[in-house]
């Protein structure tokens, strides 16, 4: 009877030992698998070095550049004109004007010339050390030069029965007038005005984005 009890106890001890070993092996295996297939560790390295481009600087520069380039071709100056020219023609024999052969008229029309900047080609540089932002834009250009076709008018017309004159080729006349008026607009500083207004526009935009930050904004033109 005693031998049966001892044999029973020995079997219980063996079962306990086996259970303990299985548990230990299971835990060890799980730890190994987790180390292999578990979440990857992310190592964050902070570099402090003079002149390094910080994430904040990149975001600021990109935000400004995106906002400015989104303006595209923007008209920043316009020139309206009223054009009038006098035509006269007479029949002559050498230097002598034949009486009653003089015809004349006045041609009138109005138009508009628009100039501006292609902001899609602008560049933005942010200098944190100097608290400065430099916006570089392309040179201003003339976007349009249009005569209002409905404004064309021939007035003060005096036609001699002996010498009738006409305006002639309208296309050629329009082209000539547009060329003359464009030169007048350029002489009066149309492109300089376009530059000045473009600078005001981008500065206003930058200061609205950089509210609370003490940055100086400079504009340049290529």
1 and 31 both lie in a single domain: yes
Look at residue 76 and tell me whether its pLDDT is greater than 80: yes
15 and 92 both lie in a single domain: no
178 and 206 both lie in a single domain: yes
87 and 30 both lie in a single domain: no
17 and 77 both lie in a single domain: no
Give the pLDDT score at 110.
Answer: 93
49 domain residue, yes or no:
no
* Structural domain count, the chain: 2
Give the pLDDT score at 40.
Answer: 39
88 domain residue, yes or no:
yes
DSSP state string for 37-52: HSPPP--------TT-
For 17-27, write each residue's pLDDT tens digit: 555 555 555 55
130 and 196 both lie in a single domain: yes
39 and 60 both lie in a single domain: no
Packing angle of the helix pair 190-209, 55-69 (nearest 10 deg): 140
109 and 133 both lie in a single domain: yes
For 153-166, write each residue's pLDDT tens digit: 776 555 544 445 55
Q: DSSP class of residue 211? A: T
User: Cβ-count burial of 83 within 10 angstroms (0-12 exposed, 13-18 middle, 19+ buried)?
Assistant: middle
Q: Which domain holds residue 27?
A: 1-44
């Amino acid at each position: 009877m005693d031998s049966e009890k001892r044999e029973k106890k020995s079997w219980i001890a063996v079962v306990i030992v086996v259970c303990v070993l299985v548990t230990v092996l299971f835990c060890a295996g799980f730890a190994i698998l987790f180390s292999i297939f578990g979440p990857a560790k992310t190592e964050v390295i902070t570099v402090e070095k003079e002149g390094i481009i910080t994430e904040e600087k990149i975001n600021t520069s990109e935000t400004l550049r995106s906002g400015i380039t989104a303006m595209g071709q923007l008209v920043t100056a316009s020139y309206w004109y009223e054009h009038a020219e006098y035509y006269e023609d007479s029949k002559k024999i050498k230097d002598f004007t034949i009486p009653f052969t003089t015809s004349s008229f006045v041609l009138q029309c109005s138009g508009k010339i628009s100039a501006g900047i292609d902001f899609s080609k602008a560049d933005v540089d942010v200098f944190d050390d100097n608290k400065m932002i430099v916006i570089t834009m392309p040179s201003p250009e003339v976007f349009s030069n249009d005569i209002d076709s409905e404004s064309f008018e021939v007035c003060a017309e005096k036609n001699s029965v002996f010498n009738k004159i006409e305006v002639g080729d309208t296309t050629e006349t329009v082209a000539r007038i547009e060329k003359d008026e464009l030169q007048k607009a350029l002489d009066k500083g149309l492109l300089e005005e376009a530059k000045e207004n473009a600078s005001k526009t981008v500065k206003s935009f930058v200061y609205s984005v950089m509210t609370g930050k003490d940055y100086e904004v400079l504009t340049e033109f290529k």
